[in-house]
């Protein structure tokens, strides 16, 4: 029998921020945690920065620069399980909401902190973005074609994988540790260390034949003709990853190059430029669909490079969005609004947008219900909203 999601019952205070902090909160929310985003109180009529990582979350707006706002956060922290601090070092400490204060009020609190650079490093007090964290971690030096400049791969490597997902992992480790010790702790995550950890294998193979050549000339970074992408006749692409001999043989067969001695020259790097030019010419002779018809069902490790618009609309593709991992007995919440099979998609009816469209969570959206569920507070009796900011009632009994 399918049970509730794995983190149901955990209460999370997520201070509103950009990318990695909200993503950590999203991962917690998708796993069933009750995530309450603390939005900054803004003057009437102003629009807060958009955040699309809001699935399964609620919000309250709080004036963190006012004593009343600080007191409200302290009251929430007394029974919260987790906080997510997405700010640069020292911001919440200056507001009187640092880990010493909140963990002092609630020793079971897990105080998750997300930074870009190391808090104790050379760049600690500098501003930065994903590309900067990749740069100083060494990760960025590995990405790019031979003879070209390093290339920042969107922002998923630093912000999301090295940042938000790493903080999520640290929070889960702290939850497990709290089960044994009864105490919470501060969880420190930063995108430099997180990204560098992700690059463990590429960093280590720099000292082996697999990766000791300049950027773009190695086995896995675009230098190898049988581990690369190729344009097709219709301007689309196929991805080739035929590293092992038997997979390479299947690739050569599909390309019509069997019995031309290419199998014996697979690892001869001197022939790689010629091999790549030949592959480029052959792949451009057919459309992507034609190549799919040739390679589907084979072990050639040759697949189409699918784009999200076609994944979203083509029911025959693997485009239905799902949680990152399937827990058969306690599945995470569904992402696709049709994902109701717990053994496949996750639990529940899902959310609108099917994982392709993110809804903006407006300040105070769902907040009243969250405060009722957490504390059994009611508006007018225990708290009120003044000029868009939630504050405690002076005479409330807490």
CA dihedral 217, 219, 220, 222 (to 10 degrees): 40
Mean pLDDT (the chain, rounded): 92
Residue 303: per-residue pLDDT? 98
> 225: closest CA among 242, 209, 206, 237?
242
Query: How does pLDDT run across 7-35, given as a tens digit for each residue?
Result: 999 999 999 999 999 999 999 999 999 99
Evaluated on CA atoms 169, 172, 178, 180, the torsion sign reads negative
> 7: closest CA among 56, 77, 54?
56
Residue 30: per-residue pLDDT? 94
pLDDT (average), residues 35-50: 76
Residue 187 has pLDDT above 80, yes or no: yes
Helix (H), strand (E) at residue 278 = helix 272-283
Residue 47: per-residue pLDDT? 56
Q: What are the boundaries of each domain within the chain?
A: 11-198+321-392, 227-231+237-304
- pLDDT band for 43, please (50, 70, 90 cuts): low
Q: Is 230 exposed, middle or buried (0-12, 13-18, 19+ CB in 10 A)?
A: buried
> Alpha-carbon distance 154 to 305, whole Å?
17
pLDDT (average), residues 46-60: 82
The pLDDT > 70 percentage for the chain reads: 96
> Alpha-carbon distance 277 to 283, whole Å?
10
- pLDDT band for 346, please (50, 70, 90 cuts): confident
CA-angle at 178, arms to 174 and 183, nearest 5°: 110
- pLDDT band for 350, please (50, 70, 90 cuts): confident
Tokens of 329: 């007995």
pLDDT (average), residues 285-314: 96
pTM here is 0.93
Q: Are 350 and 334 in contact (CB under 8 A)?
A: yes
Evaluated on CA atoms 98, 101, 104, 108, the torsion sign reads negative
Residue 397: per-residue pLDDT? 46
> 185: closest CA among 193, 195, 175, 198?
175
Q: Are 361 and 375 in contact (CB under 8 A)?
A: no
Tokens of 35: 């995530």
Strands 302-304 and 237-241 turn out to be: antiparallel
Residue 208: per-residue pLDDT? 95
Residue 251 has pLDDT above 60, yes or no: yes
Strand partners, 37: 14, 59
Domain 11-198+321-392: top CATH class: alpha beta
The pLDDT > 90 percentage for the chain reads: 76
> 28: closest CA among 105, 83, 73?
83
Residue 335: per-residue pLDDT? 87
Enter the CATH code of domain 227-231+237-304.
3.30.1540.10
Q: Which residues are catalytic?
A: 159
> Alpha-carbon distance 171 to 14, whole Å?
13
Residue 329: per-residue pLDDT? 87
CA-angle at 159, arms to 158 and 160, nearest 5°: 100
Residue 367: per-residue pLDDT? 95
Residue 46 has pLDDT above 60, yes or no: no
- For the residues of 148-189, what is the DSSP string, one character each? S-----TTIIIIIIIIIIHHHHHHHHHHHHHHHHS---EEEE
Query: How does pLDDT run across 74-106, given as a tens digit for each residue?
Result: 999 999 999 999 998 899 999 999 999 999 999
């Amino acid at each position: 029998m399918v049970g509730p999601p794995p983190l149901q019952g955990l209460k999370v205070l997520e201070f509103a921020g950009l990318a990695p902090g909200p993503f950590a909160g999203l991962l917690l929310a998708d796993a069933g945690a009750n995530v309450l985003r603390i939005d900054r109180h803004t003057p009437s009529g102003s629009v807060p920065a958009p955040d699309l990582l809001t699935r399964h979350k609620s919000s309250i707006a709080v004036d963190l620069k006012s004593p009343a706002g600080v007191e409200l956060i302290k009251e929430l922290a007394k029974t919260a399980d987790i906080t997510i601090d997405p700010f640069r070092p020292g911001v919440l400490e200056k507001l009187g909401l640092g880990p010493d204060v909140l963990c002092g009020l609630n020793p079971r609190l897990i105080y998750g902190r997300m930074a870009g650079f190391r808090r104790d490093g050379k760049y600690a007090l500098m501003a930065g973005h994903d590309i900067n964290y990749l740069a100083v971690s060494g990760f960025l030096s590995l990405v790019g074609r031979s003879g070209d400049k390093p290339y920042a791969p969107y922002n998923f490597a630093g912000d999301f994988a090295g940042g938000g997902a790493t903080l999520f992992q640290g929070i889960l480790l702290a939850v497990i540790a709290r089960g044994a010790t009864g105490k919470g702790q501060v969880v420190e995550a930063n995108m430099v260390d997180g990204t560098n950890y992700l690059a463990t294998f590429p960093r280590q193979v720099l000292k082996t034949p697999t990766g000791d050549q300049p950027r773009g000339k190695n086995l896995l970074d675009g230098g190898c003709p049988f581990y690369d992408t190729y344009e097709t006749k219709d301007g689309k692409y196929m991805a080739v990853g035929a590293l092992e001999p038997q997979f390479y043989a299947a690739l050569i067969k599909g390309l019509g190059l069997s019995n031309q001695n290419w199998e014996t020259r697979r690892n001869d790097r001197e022939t790689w430029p010629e091999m790549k030019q030949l592959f480029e010419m052959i792949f451009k002779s057919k459309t992507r669909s034609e190549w799919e018809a040739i390679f589907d069902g084979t072990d050639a490790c040759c697949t189409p490079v699918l784009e999200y618009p076609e994944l979203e609309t083509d029911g025959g593709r693997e485009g239905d969005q799902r949680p990152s991992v399937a827990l058969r007995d306690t599945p995470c919440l569904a992402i696709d609004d049709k994902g109701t099979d717990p053994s496949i998609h996750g639990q529940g009816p899902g959310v609108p947008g099917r994982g392709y469209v993110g809804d903006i969570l407006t300040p105070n959206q769902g907040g009243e219900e969250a405060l009722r569920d957490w504390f059994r507070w009611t508006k007018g009796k225990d708290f009120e909203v003044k000029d868009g900011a939630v504050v405690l009632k002076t005479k409330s009994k807490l």
